[in-house]
Amino acid sequence: MTGSVVLIHLAGAVALLLWATRMVRTGVERAYGDVLRRKLRGTLRNPLLAVAAGGALAIAFQSATAVSLLVGSFAGSGIVTGAAGLVAVLGADLGSAFVVKLLSFDLPLLVPIALFVGTTIFLATERRAWRQFGRILVGVGLLILSLRLIGEASEPLRESGILPVVVNYLAADPVTAFLIAAVATWLFHSSVAFILLIVALAARGLVPAELGIVMVLGANLGGGLIAAMLSRTMSPPSRVVPLGNLAIRAIGALLALAGIVWLHPPLELLGASVPLQIVHAHIVFNVALVIAGIPFAGLVARTIERLLAYAAPPVPVSFEDKDTNALDPEALGTPSRALANVTRAVVGVCETIEVMLKNIMELYEEPDRARMAALAALDDRVDRRHAAIKLYLARITTGQMNDDEARRTQELLGACVKLEQVGDIIVRNMLVHVGKKLDRGLNFTPEGWRELLNLHAAVVANARLAFNVLISRDTETALQLVREKDRLRDVERATSRSHFERLREGTPRSVETSSLHLDTIRDLKQINSLLASIAYPVLEERGMLGGTRLKAAE
């Protein structure tokens, strides 16, 4: 087998590894993301619980980067302090190390089982949670399969004359190996995937233990760099956690690298084989970071906050300014350009509505006057954007529009009106319910609150589908959104029945919160109906919408 063929096979196996990792992460995010966020938010105040919660979330998401950005957003919203968020992310890094350990086991039988069961579940049901669970299983199967393919693809490299030269050079120059690993991890956008690649090559005898550990240290630095780079467009308070994590990981990795180079510790203590030594070194390093990082988390967070405050521009550009810039008046004479500008502006409205949807349920759980006022201000922002978009659409030169552009104009205008109505329901109805709950000191029953959370999670998931339909105009996504509307109607009926059963039983808290409970169900149902209607123009254009119901699938 020629060298080029070997590299093609290896590149394909690595690409499958990256894709499988992404499949698992997105499956967990779509199915359980909102629940996991709420659980994490409630445990961050205790350092030990924060470490455990961050680790569990990293195992679920298969990504410490996702946890770092999520916790960073919590810190930016004032839900947790930067120090508490930093501790949670250190726990996430440790959880990510345990993911590598779990995936390093030889589990050949799990591949066909995970692929078969996952595919069967995905195809056998239309329920989102079950379909995403099937997606997760397929991703796990492909991930383990990719590791086997990497091992098989790298087998011919044992006889290569070039590889030993490269390996010997890197082994003799650990600093270069460390930097290459950091850059490669950043390019992979996954420290788990890169370290699994190193472990797979080590299992074939292609990477010695000390070089593998040096590259694992570089991967840890690169993993911190990923989140820090992805957070560069976030607000300064939200960047404290990713940047603080990067600082701790960089200092820890450099100290560990110096220890490896100068002290040459006995690596045999980490395991009987080279792959075990590499995996265990990764875990030991992250355990050490957790132990050393907890006492210094506050100091690091405060230092990063001061640096960000010092580096902040004196006159920041507001969100509204950026949206106004998207509606370029010079593009009005070219409908295609003008509609592209409107699409960008509507995306900004979608992002604000999603924030409002998420925040309103957090206020139901923990009412706060300041955050209620902030949510109301978001609705004012939506109203301003809606007015600007409507005026801009009215000024586009209609004489040069073709039929598709005319339809797109009406579609964007209709979607923007619906989004503005969603914002009104959140603020004028649901926010009023939050105020009543706060003023009267009411609390839902555990069963009632769980039902509302499940209903809210379904609406948030449907909102994301609606936003995707609006941008991509994908038929399958539009069909899924309309089907989810019907499914949510059944969930709403079941929720209402459960509530009335508790009323008949005379449950005190159900009686006290009955009006709030039923009004919230009604509001969530209305929001979901508005969002689902965004799919109608796409389905109608393709002849898939008959009257008020979907045509039977052919």
Instruction: Give me the DSSP letters along 152-171.
Output: HHHGGGGG-SSHHHHHHHHH
Query: How many CB atoms within 10 Å of residue 462?
Result: 25
Sign of torsion over alpha carbons 440, 446, 451, 452: positive
pLDDT confidence bin for 546, thresholds 50/70/90: low
Among candidates 81, 13, 521, which has minimal Cα distance to 299?
81
pLDDT tens profile 356-415: 888 888 888 878 788 888 888 888 888 888 888 888 888 876 666 777 878 888 888 888
Residue 500 has pLDDT above 80, yes or no: no
Instruction: Tell the residue number behind the tokens 């009955």, with chain if given.
Output: 514
Among candidates 330, 322, 311, 394, which has minimal Cα distance to 352?
322
Instruction: Tell the residue number behind the tokens 């590598």, with chain if given.
Output: 100
**Domains parsed from the chain with CATH numbers:** 3-311 (no CATH), 320-550 (1.20.58.220)
Query: In this predicted structure, what is the pLDDT of residue 27?
Result: 73
Question: Strand, helix or coil at 536?
Answer: helix
pLDDT tens profile 231-267: 776 777 778 888 999 999 999 999 999 998 888 888 8
pLDDT tens profile 7-23: 787 778 778 877 777 77
Tokens of 40: 């994490």
Between 128 and 37, the more confident residue is 128
Tokens of 138: 């397929």
Query: In this predicted structure, what is the pLDDT of residue 45?
Result: 62
What are the helix (H) ranges across 368-474?
Answer: 369-395, 403-424, 431-440, 446-472
Query: In this predicted structure, what is the pLDDT of residue 217?
Result: 93
pLDDT confidence bin for 553, thresholds 50/70/90: very low
Among candidates 540, 548, 415, which has minimal Cα distance to 485?
548
Among candidates 386, 390, 518, 363, which has minimal Cα distance to 455?
518
235-259 in b/e burial notation, b at 16+ Cβ within 10 A? bbbbbbbbbbbbbbbbbbbeebbee
Q: What percent of the chain has pLDDT over 70?
A: 82
CA distance 515 to 503: 11
Residue 186 has pLDDT above 80, yes or no: yes
pLDDT confidence bin for 78, thresholds 50/70/90: low
Residue 157 has pLDDT above 70, yes or no: no
Query: In this predicted structure, what is the pLDDT of residue 508?
Result: 59
Query: In this predicted structure, what is the pLDDT of residue 283?
Result: 92
Task: Please state the rounded mean pLDDT for residues 131-159.
Answer: 75
Query: In this predicted structure, what is the pLDDT of residue 316?
Result: 40
Residue 179 has pLDDT above 80, yes or no: yes
pLDDT tens profile 16-74: 877 777 777 677 666 666 665 666 655 666 677 778 877 777 776 666 777 777 777 76
Task: Please state the rounded mean pLDDT for residues 522-551.
Answer: 77
Phi/psi class of residue 419: alpha, beta or left (left: φ > 0; alpha: ψ in -120 to 50)? alpha
Element (H, E) at 207: none
> Please, what is the average pLDDT of the chain?
79
pLDDT confidence bin for 549, thresholds 50/70/90: low
